[in-house]
Structures are given as structure tokens and as C-alpha cells.
A and B are shown apart, each in its own frame.
Chain A
Amino acid sequence: MAQVKVFGYSDKLSLKVGEEVQIHVSADGTDTVDAQLVRLIHGDEHPDGPGFIEEEVDCEANGVWDVEKQFTQVGSFLEVEDPAKTLALDGSITLHAFIWPRTPEIGHRQCILGRWDNRRNFGYCLGINRTGRLEFWVGRGDEIDYVEAEVPLQEQVWYFVAATFDTKTGKATLYQEGVPNRYNSRLGRVTPIDYRSHVSEVFRFRQKNLDETPFLMAGSRDWHELRGDFVSQLYCGKIDRCGVYDRALGRAELDGLRQGGEPPAEGLVAYWDTTVGYTDRGIGDEVVDTGPNRLNAYGYNRPVRAMTGWNWTARNDCFRLAPEQYGGIEFHDDAVIDSNWKVTAKFKLPEKIRSGAYAMRLRSGDGTGLAEEYVVFFVRPKKPTGRIAFLFSTATYLAYANERFALDGSIVQPMGGQPPTITEPDIEMYKNPEFGLGAYDHHADGAGVCYTGYHRPLLNMRPKYRISAFGMPWNFPADLSVVAWLEHKGYDYDILTDEDIHYEGAAAMAPYNCVLNSTHPEYYSENMMDATEDYIAGGGRYICVGANSFCCNVAFRDDDPTVMECRKVGGHWKAWLAQPGEYHMATTGQMGGLWNKIARYGQKIAGVTMAGEGFAHSRPYELMPDAFDPELAWITKGIEPGELIGNFGLGNGGAAGIELDRYHLDFGTPPDTKVIASSGGHPDNYVAMDEEGAYAHQGFSGTHNHELRGDFTFCPSHNGGAVVATGSIAFGMALPINNFDNNVSTLLGNVVDAFAEPGPLPGAKEKVAVAAE
């Protein structure tokens, strides 16, 4: 019997009580699953903690669901909307485009431009064959005729390519000329290489077209008996301005196009000007045809735009400055943004459930391993009920979604200081490109992944998952340790997600006296930054329970919360590096990368941010002199001087560790910030993130560098607002030790108790009292 595997995702991550949710499920080896709505309370199964805790919840959708195997279209491409079949040209034709092939010899044929049916061999296409040579081919069903270029295309070099086919003489001619300038390509002028190729052959017949074949860029139509129609022969690389003529253009006319001239009007069927549509706020998935027929093309799986074009001269490093130099659209044969599965179940959430992290638990077969799936989503109350809110970092979950860098990245072991610990879901993700990649991965063609979406099974946003690189709960499952603590302490809390903060702003947090952020709030959009700042400055009390806070700038479209853009830019500390000139996000026009590169230091909000990271032993905190200020004594109530705070924990045995945030006045830490406690004694596996250091030198590691520490800080703001930051990812993971009875829990409890209470903070009360006397 086949192994049973169940995977699913929900249409929304953030829902409200009573709202309708749609679950999309694909299953192997079974046609039914047992579905049960559960509230997730604790994830980490570590024997030192409380173990996995869930609560089954009555719901109309509980029971047996019929499921089937579903398929995902992998790869990005453009499809032209052509209802009148204008492009079903069966006479003379010219196809032309500027291309920058990333990997001409990737091992399969790559289609650039054409109306081609891959299974039945009808139509015409300009593409790259398996030997990496440009090829033009036409088909009439039973036979194919083709002409290929003399030499293979070079990787990452701009070319102008064209194919002309004159059906009167039967002559098909390829036109290939390199158009590298001093900046735009991998190779420069010195390389003694001749890119040109002009080949002609006389074809035996002309193409025949099928009605249903779409005109695609970067792919061709294919069919499979289980899947039906899909797109294959996907192209990896960039395409810039391209077009179609219904006559064979002459060499001089093509030379004119190569030099950037306007396309001649005679015989023009379509001309996709990829530079049209840029605004100050980015560009969408529509590629505009400026020719007579207005045959616009639409991107699938988000072809990457705002990329440098064939005529980029590096003087302008953003499309906002010179859109005409940003005609490049990059395609990847393994991009997945949305699985687009059929809905398996659609139901209303029960009216009488409390706010929390929920999941549809799907089990089949023996219900273990891959036969058990948790489709996670987050439920807010209809109207805020509690005084406290816990914020799930869904943007960070998206950045890490289905990452597999333990299996791909050789830097993971020196970073982690340990061999990675992989599990069954890691292997399943690795084998199967249909799960898509995260912003920590590279596409198979070598480019970094800049789009990640949640309309696909996110195998690492599961309550029991442990990150393979470091062998511990990471992000969502680690955040559940804080939720379990809130639950154990009996706080009246609601939950929020990054999505709510991004789209609703500070208003989403405003009803709550106290907001706790997650263990790892790394990825923040501008809206989210603004909302957090406004909430605190407006009198809100904010606890940053984790570390690596407010680090990286990401973007969401106004109309699509499911997909996030993330470009990795900057000196060090990134999973991949965007190509020069491609640092700005197509979604918003903002510079990607670290917030501190554009002076939006996380310290301005939380008082602390990234000091460094490591994955060897975590360490405890010790109180710092500020803790002995009587006005702040409420924070450390119950903790003796000299007591080690968090000499234990589920995150490598201590409360301070994994990623650490520190106080940094030069980077905007509010000067009234108090450092209550700090950690120290981190091993050399910890390396400082030296963003202001101009040189790399020895002495950046734990035993040498005082900057490598986690700072537990307190900072009052306007209107009674305040921020506490713990400065460590491991902090939240230390809470469940000894059944939540420990000094980390005491410390956080003191802060939450004080923050949740309306009115002035205890210290301020004393201050007022002292002043009154």
C-alpha cells in the first residue's frame, strides 16, 4: 500500500470567530481523512517541557472528509490574454525578445516566446534547446521543423534574439546578437567572445495552430492524464521587451530593434513593453502590449519584476529613477506562489470559540508522520475581549516558509555549530518542488527566492515541527510556548497576526492594554513598523518576547495578503544576495533588506535589536544595576540579587540564546531605556552581527565580543506607553520549564501583570506618590 501523506492549507491565515474558512487538501494513498478542529496550546515535544498540548473543539466540519491528490503548477511564466486568437498565426512570423538566460543548459528545453503545444506538437516557439542553443521551431502535429543557433548562449549575458519565418520561401532565420554593456551582464568587454549567430534553413512546412493553446512567455502548454493542462519547458532567466510580427522582418529592421529603436508598425501583432506600468509604488503582474491589439500578458507564480533590463547602465539603481532600464522580468522553473488547489472543505468557525491558534487536524492511515497534518490558522475574537494580545509573526513564518537550507546550504553547519537534524517533512519538502521555497532558499537556477506565499502547505508552520538546521522549534511552534504560558497563567488574552497589523495598523492593537510580540518578529513591513510605533507612542504597552526584532523590510500588495516580497540586500547576514540594481521591491518600490540600512533601526521601537546569533549552549541573564532602581523594582519582584535568570530552557538550555538583541544608543535606542538584565558568556559559535563595523576582523565571536549579549530592557514612552524587550529568542522557550514555575516566568509575569493593568505603571505610581508626599 502506498504511504499515506496528507497536506493542506487554508485560504486565510487570520480569521475572526464565526467567519468562513476554506481548507484545501491533497492526499496520497488515501481518499478520506478524519478532520478535527483543535486549538493549539503547546507545540514543543521536548521531554523537559509540558509536551504537545491541543484542545479538541466542536465544529460542524469535524468528521470524515473526502480528499484527492492535487497538483501544483510549478514555475513562473506569462500568459497572454488572447480570446480572439490573434496570435494563432499560421503564416509568416517574427518573434523577437531581449533575453538574459540564467542557465541555458539547465537540462531541459526552455521556451521563451511562443504558442506551442508540447504534447501534440502544434504551433510555433522560440526557445533554448537542451544544448543551450537558441532554437526556433514550428509544428503541425505529426512533424516538427526547427533551426538552431551555431553556438550555445552564455549564462547571464544579455542577448537580442529573434526568429523570422517567411512562409513564401520557407526560409526560417535565427538572429542572435549579444548586447552586453559595461554593467548589465556577467562578462565584460575584455572577454574575447563572439556572441553572434545568424542561421537560416528552409522549413518543409508551416505551423498549424490549435485553438486552445495559449501564447506563453517562459513556458509551453503540456498535458497529463491526471493533471490535465499544465505548463512545462519553463525558462530560467530574464526576458525584456519582446514582440510578434505577422511578417518576416529583415536584418536591418532587427538591427534597429536590437539598438533599442521603436518597433516598425507594419505587420506588428504585439509588442510587450515590459517597462510600461511602473509607478512610484511598484508594479503588478500585468505586462502591457502597446501594439495594435492590446494583448496584455499576466504573470503566474509571480515572475519577478523591477529587475534590470538589457539597457541598464547602473547609474540608476531603482526602477523609480529610470523605468525604461528596468524592463527585465525574471522567471524561475521552480517558483511556487500559490498551489491553487480545489477547496476540500468550506465551513464557518463556531461562534463560541475563544481567540487562539487553531488548526484543522487531518489524519489518515496510522495518523502519524506525514499521515497527520495540522492546517494552522489564527482566530481573533469578533470584538476584542481581553486586555492582552499575543501577536503571531506570520510575516516571519512566511519568510521561513518551507525553507530547506539545512539540506542545501553548506553554511548552515558552521552557523549552527552542529549537524542538522532532519525529519520526514524535510525530506518530503526537499524531494518535491510543489511545496515551493522560502525566502531563505535559492531557486534551482541559483537565484534567491524573493516571493513566498501561504496558499500552499507550510510544512514548517506546524505545531510539532523542529527546524532542521538547528534541531529546535522555530517561529510558530516556539511561539506556542508563550501561548501555553499565557494559558497556564490564566490571562485573558486574544491573538493577533502580522497580517492584521499590516492591514489595520495600530487600530488592531489599540483595544489592548498590553501586546506581546512573538519569539522571532524579524520580518516587518513599513505598515507594521508604523503601527507598532504608533501603538506604543499612543500609550500602548508592548513586550518584545523574542529577538532579531524589526530587522528586515518586506512588502505585501494591498489586495493580496497571501504573498510577501523580500529582497536580501546588504553587507553580511543574508541567505542570498539580490543582483546589483535589483534591491528595490516590485511590490512597493521600497529598498529591501535590513531596516537599519535605511536608518529605520529596530532599536527606535523596541530599544534593542540584533546583536548576533549562535546555536551552541544558551546562557542565563544576570541583573544589571538598573534593576536596583526602586522605581523599577516591580519588574524583578521575586528575583533575588545574584540570582541567575533562566539557567534552563527548551532553547539550548538557557533563556538567553539563539538570536540575541542588544541596547545600542547609536542606533536609536531611546536614551531613557533601562537595562534590567543582560546575558553573557556566550560560546564562540555566537558571532556578532557587526552592521556598523566597516571591516571584518578577528574577535567577533562570543568569548571575545561584549556586544554579543541579550539585553532585557524597559523603556517608557508617551502617554503611559512602554516597551519591554527580552533580547533573546530562547526567552520564550524557557517559560514552560518546571511547569511554568521559574524565574523567567516570574519576570515576564511581573511585566505582563503591570502592563495589562490600566492606568500608570507601578513605578510611575510610586513616583506620583513620592511627589505627593
Chain B
Amino acid sequence: MLGATAGLLALVGLVANTSFTWILFRRAEAWAGALLASVGLGAGGLFVAQSAAGGWANGALFWGWFPLGIAVSFGWAFMECGRYHRLLRRRLQLGMADPVVTNRFGLYAAATGLAVVTNLVGWVFWRRHLEMVTDPVGGPLLLVLGVTSSTLMMLAFLPPRVYLAWVRARAPEAA
């Protein structure tokens, strides 16, 4: 029961994250809607298949393939935010963008990029039947990746005033 609940929560999170990218950047484009549907239906299908097969205690089918959905979802967010960050940096030079918002896209791109890396590293450990948290390499790696990603997210969405002032101070003068 606990395994199935974890799977369901992961599924909801994955669909929510992918929907955010879709709504934010590509809600008018058919290919993006199809990508969102593929991620949602694929993960939903995995959940149903694992539930039908049983064995949620290990959840080999679900957790073996679910990271692919995470990689697609966060990889997409990373690419869209990275692209938008580059666009806003150009607009910033002409006084058409806010330096804090521009920086926020860069931070979110970096955080989602790290999420992809963390997901892939975690998947490798899982495939090798290694417990990442207690592994002498995996544990510290997870700590560094997790803390860095959380810090980037905090600076993006809960920024201290001193950080905002620093971002504004180093923004280029509009041409």
C-alpha cells in the first residue's frame, strides 16, 4: 500500500511538473500537448501495469521506467527555461527585461538540470541494486546535488533581499 501511494504521488508530481512547463511555454503548440499527454499516459500506464502485476513493495516495473518520465519532464523544463533565459538576457541589454526575473529563469534552468542529473544518478544506483543514501559515494553525491538544487530553487522563488539587490547591482545598463 505504501509503495502504491508513493507511486501515485510521484505520478501526480510528474504530471504537475510537465503541465507547468507546457502551460508556461507551449500551451498553443500541438507537439507540446502531445508530449504532455505521452508523459501522463505513459506514467499512468506504468502505474496501472504495476498495480495489476502486484509487487509494489519493490515496484520494479514502475520505478524501473518512471525515471524516464522524470528525465523527459525536467529535461524539457531545463531546455525551455535555458532558452528563455538566453532570450531575456538579450532583452535585458535593451532595457526590456527585469534582471531579477531574468536571473530567476537561469536559476530554475540550473535547478531542473540538476534534477535531471540527480534522477539519472539515482536510476543508475537503483539498477545496480545499491542504496544511494548509505553508499559512500552516493550519499555525499545526493547531498551535494540536493542541497545545490534546493538552494537554487530558494534563490529563485524565496530570494533574500540581499540577493535581489546583488542581482540588480550587476545587471547591465540598457543600451
Q: Do A and B come from one complex?
A: no
Q: Which residues of B contact A (CB under 8 A)?
A: none
Q: Which residues of A contact B (CB under 8 A)?
A: none
